[in-house]
Amino acid sequence: MTLSIVPVDQAGIDNIADGLSGFTDESSELQQSMMTTLFIAGASDASKGRCAYLLLEDGSRMWVPNSLRCWIVDLQIKTQQYESYDPTEKLLIRVTAVDGTTYVYRCGFDSWTATSFLTQFKHMTRKQLADQVTITLRSKGRATFVDVSYVENGQFHRVQLPDSAFTGQKLGYDERLDLISYVNGTSQDNEDSPVVEAQVQVEEEPFEVPAEEIDELLDEIRKPKRSRRKASASTEQVTA
């Protein structure tokens, strides 16, 4: 990054430095992370059947196609804290797309979407989890479910779930934790993997978002969907 010095007063006494080697800008990191987070919200008429969106710098939503070819990098649980509401746990699934972009699927840890993701992963082998997959979101009523296809003999095959997987109930908390450990133990080597890197297709003209204020974006992220009883926490923290 090129060093940029921006004066904040006419006398030039105070200046703002951007691109200074060794320093990081937290607002830029947050902005970048939000622009690569796939918020799973379910399909609607406005989204034209698409189930997940990226938040742009101005707080607007960009709904993305339901299928993504990628490699799974890792899974995490993040506790979203609010000033006036109970904290909620989110499941974050980090993937590397075929163009080299890193995305993070985000959904409620206690949601049907999380159960659907983890049930698919549960019935995949270690080799299948470590190789390229196609993740497809599909809407059913107000919930969003997931189909995963894995590569075998040069072709994609959809994960076939046994009848025992269709219980009509969400996975238990401990089982969800066990499945996160299972996936992380098989797929996390995909980050910076030379095998993955060799298959990445680089875009000639990468998509760029114009630089604008991100206040609305942050308000959108921090605003809960429904009112809940008060809690004292006010910051975000990550739990494993």
Asked whether residue 149 is assigned to any structural domain, the reply reads yes
CA distance 141 to 33: 29
* 38-62 exposure pattern, b = at least 16 Cβ within 10 A, e = fewer: bbbbbbeeebeebbbbbbbbebebe
Cα–Cα distance list, 233 to 34, 79, 206 (Å): 22, 11, 39
CA distance 204 to 10: 41
Asked whether residue 180 is assigned to any structural domain, the reply reads yes
Asked whether residue 238 is assigned to any structural domain, the reply reads no
Asked whether residue 7 is assigned to any structural domain, the reply reads no
Taking Cα atoms as reference points, which of 206, 186, 36 lies closest to residue 104? Answer: 36
**pLDDT tens for the 240 residues of the chain, in order:** 566 666 777 776 777 766 666 665 555 544 455 568 999 998 888 899 999 999 888 888 999 999 999 999 999 999 988 777 888 999 999 999 998 899 999 999 999 999 999 999 999 999 999 999 999 999 988 899 999 999 998 899 999 999 888 889 999 999 999 999 999 987 656 665 555 565 555 444 444 444 444 555 555 555 555 544 544 444 444 444
For residue 23, how far is the Cα from the chain centroid?
A: 25
CA distance 70 to 151: 11
Asked whether residue 14 is assigned to any structural domain, the reply reads no
Give the pLDDT of residue 34. 52
Asked whether residue 144 is assigned to any structural domain, the reply reads yes
Residue 36 phi, psi dihedral angles, 5° rounding = -115, 10
Domain range for 138 is 23-224
Asked whether residue 95 is assigned to any structural domain, the reply reads yes
Asked whether residue 208 is assigned to any structural domain, the reply reads yes
CA distance 77 to 86: 16
Give the pLDDT of residue 136. 97
Give the pLDDT of residue 235. 42
Number of domains in the chain: 1
